[in-house]
Chains A and B, each alone.
Chain A
Amino acid sequence: MAKYIIKRVAYMFISLFLIASFTFVLMKLLPGSPLASAEKLSVEQREVIYEKYGLNDPIPVQYVRYMGNLAKGDFGVSFQFKKADVTTLIVSKLKYSMILGAQALVFGTIVGIVLGMIAALKQNTIWDYGSTVIAILGVSIPSFVFAVMLQYVFAVHWEFFDVGLWNSWKSSVLPSIALAMGPIAIAARFIRTEMIEVLSSDYIMLAKAKGASWLEIAFKHAFRNALIPLITVLGPVAAGLLTGSLVVEQIFAIPGIGEQFVKSINSNDFAVIMGTTMFFSVFLIVIILIVDILYGIIDPRIRLSGGGK
């Protein structure tokens, strides 16, 4: 197991190096400069700033310098917010996005699992159809549409919540629900398919033949086996939450990392874009690693063979 994790971590660093290089090149290829919008600056002033940040050096020199700093954990400084350190900036925004993402993931998966279980156990009843409809809506409607709808119904119409303000935990409820629709749909669909498949397997027949009750069959025997494949999609689901939160944070005016990212792109804020991309990448790779480890814990067949390979 330890060997396996070490190997995975090594791969993680290689991936991060490639992602950093690729994003760096992309950024340099894109037209526009971080100071383009700052029209008040004279040509001389601009030159001074360029010189100071090393933007006049040849690109390979900039690349080596950037990667060197990155290795030391230094993401550089933001152009947009004067002298703000990118790491501090990301960390300060992170709190909001993490709360949203984690809530959406946990809430979404749990609700999805419950819906999927109901659908599978009450197959071809009104429960099943209802849960299927929710699943289809959840995957086909993007989270920002839910965000607008929820905001309109619960914040504007009924005024249960504030519109676009971050005051307390309460402000995170609507955006989390909007973000959770995707995970709900995916988890529900997955669990339903898997449960139906598992319930028709031989070992369920044997469990019945042993005299197990309906509840024992559903929860002691079928559930765990149906859960395994769901874990494999949690990684991509988390990735979906990241991109979803970019827009949802805008709609609810949440000062999170997504909102920050959009702002930085609009203003060509190189260091912040790079930093956020790197942060997202680390986040995703770590999630996928955790998912793989979880997979091994739930599925005993992986646990042993995973150590060797």
Chain B
Amino acid sequence: MEKIIEVKDLELSFHTFAGEVKAIRGVNFEVFKGETLAIVGESGSGKSVTTKAIMRLLPESSTEFKNGQILFDGKDLLKTSDKDMQKVRGKEISMIFQDPMTSLNPTMPIGKQIMEPLLKHQKLSKEEARRKSIELLSLVGMPQPEQRMKQYPHQFSGGQRQRIVIAVALACNPKLLIADEPTTALDVTIQAQILELMKDLQKKIETSIIFITHDLGVVANVADRVAVMYGGQIVEFGTVDEIFYNPQHPYTWGLLSSMPSLDTTEEKLYAIPGSPPDLLDPPKGDAFALRSEYAMKIDMEEKPPLFKVSDTHYAATWLLHPDAPKVDPPAAIVERMKKFPGSRYYEGSAGGGR
């Protein structure tokens, strides 16, 4: 499969008054043509920073790229000039942000905001850009697009504004669309509508998508593959089924357990104890060890490498080391694993695994 983008060994810090915030500490992933990769993790795990690094939208004065490459279209985006980045942004890669209430310019008619990338990147005439914008508005499900072109953002609801932002992002048929928690700020019903729209669009256009969320519930609906992020690192990645039905990292177990779902009978929702690591002084070994009941001595001392689970599935936990004691995940996770062929708890028709 053709790789659209490849992030290699990305490592970056912010220099702040409090010291060096080691926000991204060695991140690797790739996105293939036409697929949706979800990046999940608690707030503060480095999801937005990773994607802003791709777009080179981090504050230049305080950001230090320490290592790594971001390969897109045969070039390293970290070495691309500002001028050339302007030709990538909005044309090759575009972005949807979390809060539609603040991501549109309040003093510019929305039509103009959609036309902007068309005029800039595709060199359309004003009239062509206008027609294309109206098309885009109806594509994202905006009623009466022609009349609404001249209106200002405050005349639209939150859900409608996110539709407009999506229209802006899709204007130039980008190869990669980054959606950074596009539904988090919306009401539950509107959330569902926007997700539905995104799934719909995914079928119509060939854009690859990086979908960021802290809500695993959303992931099952939209993603092909999932990367789980914690403390500036990717701790596990695999296909949606592998992450949902054969998770290996205790952090992934925690995320899955804290996900509200219909088949849990427990009244109280599980929450992972403790708080995310201090990135000013990140822990030496497994960053999750301090919050994990499965932590071993080695977790405190040495950072676990990525262990291979399958060709598509890797996890960074010492539990996967051949010498590690075999521990059972939480009961609810074991229940999930029973449904997954290839997991050690599989109870399929073939007569069970090991």
Contact = CB atoms under 8 A, between A and B. Distances in A.
A associates with B: yes
Interface of A: 201-203, 205-213, 220-221, 224-225, 228, 298-301, 304
Interface in B90-140: 90-91, 94-95, 97, 99, 102-108, 116-117, 120-121
Interface in B59-111: 86-91, 94-95, 97, 99, 102-108
B94 A202 contact: no
Contacts, number: 73
Contacts of A210: 89-90, 94, 116-117, 120, 168
Q: Which 8 A-B pairs have the closest CB atoms?
A: A211-B90, A210-B90, A202-B102, A211-B89, A300-B152, A209-B95, A202-B103, A203-B105
A210 B57 CA distance: 11
Given A209-B94, A211-B87, A211-B89, A298 B117 contact: no
Interface residues of B, number: 28
B269 to A, nearest CB: 30
B154 interface: yes
A221 B57 contact: no
A211 B123 CA distance: 13
B165 interface: yes
B104 A299 contact: no
A77 B8 CA distance: 86
B55 interface: yes
Contacts of A201: 102
A124 B104 CA distance: 28
A19 B88 CA distance: 62
15 contacts: A202-B102, A203-B106, A205-B57, A205-B103, A206-B97, A206-B168, A207-B105, A207-B116, A211-B86, A211-B120, A212-B86, A213-B86, A221-B108, A224-B108, A301-B154
A225 B107 CA distance: 7
Nearest to B92: A211
A309 to B, nearest CB: 15
B26 to A, nearest CB: 25
A298 B107 contact: yes
B106 A206 contact: no
Contact of B88 (A205, A211, A220, A300): A211
Contacts of A207: 105, 116
A220 B116 CA distance: 11
Contacts of A224: 107-108
B117 A211 contact: yes
A225 B105 contact: yes
B165 A206 contact: yes
Nearest to A302: B154
A131 B55 CA distance: 32
B105 A209 contact: no
Given A202-B102, A301-B154, A208 B107 contact: no
Given A210-B90, A212-B86, 7 more contacts: A202-B102, A202-B103, A206-B103, A210-B120, A211-B89, A212-B90, A228-B107
**Which of B55, B89, B90, B105 counts the most A-chain CB atoms under 10 A from its CB?**
B105
A121 to B, nearest CB: 13
Contacts of A220: 108
A249 B95 CA distance: 58
A202 B87 contact: no
A202 B97 contact: yes
Contacts of B102: 201-203
Nearest to B93: A209
Contacts of A221: 105, 108
A300 B121 contact: no
Nearest to B168: A210
Nearest to A224: B107
A220 B115 CA distance: 13
A49 B248 CA distance: 105
B99 A202 contact: yes
Nearest to B52: A205
B87 to A, nearest CB: 7
Given A210-B90, A210-B94, A212-B116, A203 B154 contact: no
Contact of A212 (B104, B120, B154): B120
Contacts of B97: 202, 205-206, 209
Interface in B250-308: none
